[in-house]
Structure 1
């Protein structure tokens, strides 16, 4: 059934606030109505056949929450979520422009790759620009620590001692002088000493040496496709299996349950082919044939569902 809210707004973008207020934006996009498969197909055809910009807007709006979900997987790189969402939205719009509804693939599956590609590119471009210090207090510590380390290095040079890290006594001295905790000084020194890490493979080696952080940028625990796959497996294991068993006659259902679904207290399975053959007065081969036919019926029922 068509969603009246999704179709009634003349300017659908009026529903989405600016990314300047991230909480309001996320709350708004999560309330936006999602399109039914029929609506999605209709809008996608209108866009592809006549370049209907309103149809494109509907498709983009209904998938903004997907961009928000994907952006959360990349929060560990020191970049603002608002910027990640903005880049992901660019990928979403590119996906909508290139989407072919006749391929039999839902837009959510197609768009996911474009969204991630844009976010990956943004992270790569900005990786070296991520600030070492992200708060006012950290920035103050950063500059003061740099100045003090420079002075300590000059003193060490006079004593012909060459080193890059602070000693325990120097850590205590710096923390006392700057009125911060020793742990904060140590953490900032570690940040300052850290080198750049290449996110993409260097060179043309396609072997194991080419494996770089870009391959595992995302937090896979919340990856939308994995979440959907998990839900789908749970559905098939529960309601889906029950519906599939319902299409079988009594004998076929019992054979399937005994052969595949029954577990005894000693972790052994149900009855064997020969035991079922003896009970029904047929050959073991006949029981196997009934089992194969039942499995085909169940598979067909699951696909139809």
Structure 2
């Protein structure tokens, strides 16, 4: 195996991805004995040249894994580079005495780096933060290749398989269906679509000083008008309205009828007349 003859540009996936794939495919695969010898040199003697050869001989393996994540809309070259980082971490931690091939040990590290990259870059807002959500994201993404929107039975089956609640599956499905959008809209938006930008419907006016002052003035004015209008009513009418509408523990018509020694219908009439006078005074 001779990796030193490979041009530098050919081993950088971002420059020319086709040439990179062709180059790493031409690097010889190590036999079990060769791999063990190199791994022992690295593990016991910190031989960096042995580490380089182990990494180079497994670059084609990273390409193969990275291609399986092509459906996320991210550049293959970026996926490969992240996978290569995982490969280097695996080589650093590989123990030749365990008795497994490096490719079997490295698959976890390669996928872990690619997964992290996808979650950081698939959307501006992260769709998965916890370990359970991350597992659900990638498993549900795989299932969505075969399914449209999940039915309740399908969501329940996924939930049981992954050990989560059905509502969590539906929630993740909704997150995955969302799209990033510019807060202020896009330059080429016309008058029919510009209003859909979040800036037009997410504005919070509750902290606007002028709105706060206006609301306080309106409240003070309304309370003042109500007090003035109540003061113009006779004592019985005022008491009926206060007990029926303003008290925390509101009285019934029959309770007030017992208080004033009249029928409940008479209390209703007095309440109606008092309310009419009250509205007239406040609108005057």
Tell me the TM-score range normalised by the shorter chain: 0.3 to 0.5
- Which has a greater percent of helix? 1
Greater RCO (CA < 8 Å, at least 6 residues apart): 1
| TM-score, length of structure 2 as denominator length | 0.45
| TM-score, length of structure 1 as denominator length | 0.42
